[in-house]
Amino acid sequence: MKKIILSTFVVSSFLFAGDFTNSIGMVFKEIPSGSFLMGTATPNCPKDNPYTSQNEYEDCMSYIKKETPQHKVFVDGFYMQESEVTQGQWYEVMGDNPANFKTGDANMPVEHVSWDDAKKFIKKLNAKEGTDKYRLPTEEEWEYAARAGTTTKWYCGDNESCVSSIAVTGTSSPKPVKSKKPNAWGLYDMSGNVWEWTDSCWRDDYNSEKKCDRKVIRGGSWTGDASATYSAFRGIFIPDVGTIILGFRLLRMK
């Protein structure tokens, strides 16, 4: 019964949610207020599998520990950009294109941008729009939006076989945004394509001290596989460095 109620809530939220489109055509989906269980509940590493080495088990456990303890988070409603910031959108605001993968397609995600670069983009976009509502999402807001009401490992389900329908992974380059299926709230590329900067300082787990010289990144990228693309997976990067696997998407406050 609980699963049925949850599914109804997600579908109705998607159908009646409002979109916001800004002056340069960036589309934002309305994300409702709510709560969710953030992180991973219990380790699911193959300790007793005789064909898995102890090193693989320890690697698995080290990642899972970064996603614990699972805890309930309340989130106020906001608008989330439906895709990662594209090279065309970056050019409209900044007048250049820092991306490594320049294919001539304006819908390619901008990458090779640092957290500091993303902040400069946001500052200029806010000025252009005459507002202060654009910012990077926190990792709590990001995971809440990625899950879109689901409690499964990926928003497409618990079976890794579904990931190919929602994520750009294991390829030689990123792909144009919106190449795969969106989640129930209309958000594309929340798994794969390029990692995404958040506004959150890194913590080794959810009970440890924040380290603001490093930032949380989310979503996985085109270089990896499904194992780094699930909703709770946390990555880490230093804010003043960009890389070809890392971009961002924006949140717009109500």
Residue 46's pLDDT band, with cuts at 50, 70 and 90, is low
Q: How many domains would you assign to the chain?
A: 1
Give the mean model confidence (pLDDT) for residues 166-174.
97
Q: Give Cα separations from 84 to 5, 66, 73, 196 (angstroms).
A: 30, 25, 24, 8
Higher pLDDT, 240 or 47: 240
Domain carrying residue 186: 2-252
Q: Are the C-beta atoms of residues 233 and 192 closer than 8 Å to each other?
A: no
- Residue 117 scores a pLDDT above 50: yes
Pairwise CA distance, residues 193 & 248, whole Å: 11
Helical (H) or strand (E) element with 15: helix 2-16
CATH number, residue 96 = 3.90.1580.10
**Cα→Cα distances 12→58, 149, 180, 221, Å:** 41, 11, 22, 30
pLDDT tens digits for 48-100?
555 555 667 777 777 788 999 999 999 999 999 999 999 999 999 999 999 99
Question: Residue range 176-187: average pLDDT?
Answer: 98
For residue 77, give every residue at least 6 positions away whose Cβ sits within 8 Å of its Cβ, in sequence order, or none: 30, 31, 32, 33, 254
Predicted local confidence at residue 48, as pLDDT: 58
Q: Report the pLDDT value the prediction gives residue 6, as an integer from 0 to 100.
A: 38
Q: CA–CA distance from 52 to each of 46, 62, 93 (Å)?
A: 7, 16, 49
Beta partners for residue 74, in sequence order: 35
Q: How far apart are CA 32 and CA 10, in angstroms?
A: 10
DSSP E strand stretches across the chain: 19-21, 27-31, 34-38, 71-75, 78-81, 134-135, 195-202, 211-218, 234-237, 246-247, 251-252
Name the residue with tokens 């969710």.
36
Confidence of residue 5 (pLDDT cuts 50, 70, 90): very low
* Rounded distance between C-alpha atoms, residue 206 and residue 203, angstroms: 6
Whether 129 shows a pLDDT value over 90: the answer reads: yes
Per-residue model confidence as pLDDT tens digits over 19-38 = 999 999 999 999 999 999 99
pTM, full prediction: 0.89
- Does residue 176 carry a pLDDT above 80? yes
Structure tokens at 158: 């618990």
Q: What is the mean pLDDT of the chain?
A: 90
